[in-house]
């Protein structure tokens, strides 16, 4: 990740756009739902709605649309969140977009090639499960046998 745009370049614009849409739709929709609950049920309804977000996100947009004709919270939550999540998933699945999953895999593989934990051993002889009679190719070339 070189330079200021490294993470943005590695993860991909489609993934960032999807995550941003998903986050904005979730926060905005949640705020609208809590505002509707506060106007209908007061402060205790607001506390209950804050403590029970799945019920709030499922029932309040439907209530606002059916009872008051305000379908905007329903559109924000039920359309905005899936669209953002779908964009992020499509960005992760695209091969040329270097999704976050491949970024994670590259960092794990790069780390495993550069450092070797001490318990794994540095040579095949000291590694667990290997035989002490193994001979290196260089030793065989010099005519040395196994120990």
Please report, rounded to a whole number, the percentage of residues in the chain having pLDDT higher than 70: 56
Number of domains, the chain: 1
State residue 1's pLDDT score: 46
27-39: pLDDT as tens digits:
999 999 999 999 9
Residue 91 falls inside a structural domain: yes
Residue 133 lies in a domain: no
Q: What is the model's pLDDT at position 64?
A: 92
In a domain, 17, yes or no: no
Q: Does 49 reside within a domain?
A: yes
Note down the domain range covering 97: 26-114
Task: Answer whether residue 142 is part of any domain.
Answer: no
- 13 is a domain residue: no
Question: Which tens digit of pLDDT belongs to each residue from 100-145?
Answer: 555 555 665 565 555 555 555 555 555 555 555 556 666 666 666 5
Examine residue 109 and state whether it is found in any structural domain, yes or no: yes
In order of 33, 127, 129, 137, 144, the CA distances from 140 in angstroms are 76, 20, 22, 5, 5
What integer pLDDT is reported at residue 96 of this predicted model?
Answer: 46
Is residue 103 classed as helix, strand or coil in its secondary structure?
helix
């Amino acid at each position: 990740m070189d330079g200021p745009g490294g993470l943005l370049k590695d993860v991909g614009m489609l993934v960032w756009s999807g995550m941003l849409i998903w986050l904005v739709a979730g926060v905005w929709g949640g705020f609208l739902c809590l505002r509707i609950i506060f106007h209908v049920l007061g402060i205790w309804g607001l506390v209950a709605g804050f403590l029970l977000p799945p019920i709030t996100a499922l029932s309040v947009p439907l209530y606002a649309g059916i009872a008051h004709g305000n379908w905007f919270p329903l559109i924000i939550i039920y359309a905005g969140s899936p669209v953002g999540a779908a964009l992020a998933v499509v960005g992760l699945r695209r091969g040329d977009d270097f999704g976050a999953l491949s970024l994670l895999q590259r960092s794990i593989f790069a780390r495993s090639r550069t450092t070797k934990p001490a318990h794994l051993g540095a040579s095949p002889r000291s590694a667990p499960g290997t035989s002490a009679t193994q001979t290196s190719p260089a030793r065989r070339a010099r005519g040395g046998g196994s120990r």
